[in-house]
Chain A
Amino acid sequence: GAVVSQHPSRVICKSGTSVKIECRSLDFQATTMFWYRQFPKKSLMLMATSNEGSKATYEQGVEKDKFLINHASLTLSTLTVTSAHPEDSSFYICSAREGASVDEQYFGPGTRLTVT
């Protein structure tokens, strides 16, 4: 199947700093990428839909000024957690769609963010 990478895989930062997470589709072009967040023992929650060349669409309750998303090319989307706080500590996972079929949605390995 298609490969999606994320970087970094793990990050620890201090409260108040910003953290950028990259999501790349390595062997296909992804016009749409998705960002999810998963708290311990909870389900994955969709945060936003990232469309190449346009503004991201955020889910209800997700602050767009806090979670900045940029999808500058067909293979790269970035999520920046601005002014991070301990409650932002979570597992952030991106996914990318290959083609028009919803079945072809591949997940990155995730980024574990810890804010101290």
Chain B
Amino acid sequence: RKEVEQDPGPFNVPEGATVAFNCTYSNSASQSFFWYRQDCRKEPKLLMSVYSSGNEDGRFTAQLNRASQYISLLIRDSKLSDSATYLCVVNIRGGADGLTFGKGTHLIIQP
């Protein structure tokens, strides 16, 4: 079983719609959780960290469910510029450790 699993998509969504992605992780001892955004042939950029209490940043809302070991990302009022690959990222071992990336979910916002 992969450590971090995501639906690769693509998700084709009309502009203005709401879209949600889920991600599951296998290691229950995982410490920290993030959503990154990666544009084609570019480096990943941190979108937001994910906390147990849930957190919101503008049109983006992230949730963590430790009991079920999944993380979600909700994008409201989607924009054309939201088209990208969204990477679910987990710090499994905690501390000063590298990150474990999911394969990413490809989102295409259509005008």
Contacts and interface: CB of A to CB of B under 8 A. Distances in A.
* A and B from one complex: yes
A105 B46 contact: yes
Contact of A97 (B43, B96, B101): B96
A110 B98 contact: no
Nearest to B32: A102
A67 interface: no
A46 B32 contact: no
A105 B32 CA distance: 12
Number of contact residues on A: which range applies?
Answer: 20 to 34
B98 A49 contact: yes
Contacts of A45: 101
Interface in A20-76: 31-32, 34, 36, 41-46, 49, 59
B44 A44 contact: yes
A41 B106 CA distance: 10
B32 A93 contact: no
Nearest to B45: A107
A59 to B, nearest CB: 8
B55 to A, nearest CB: 12
A43 B98 contact: no
Given A49-B97, A97-B96, A102-B91, A43 B102 contact: yes
Interface of A: 31-32, 34, 36, 41-46, 49, 59, 91, 93, 95, 97, 100, 102-103, 105-110, 112
Interface of B: 4, 31-32, 34, 41-46, 49, 87, 91, 94-104
7 contacts: A32-B96, A34-B98, A43-B103, A43-B104, A49-B96, A93-B44, A102-B31
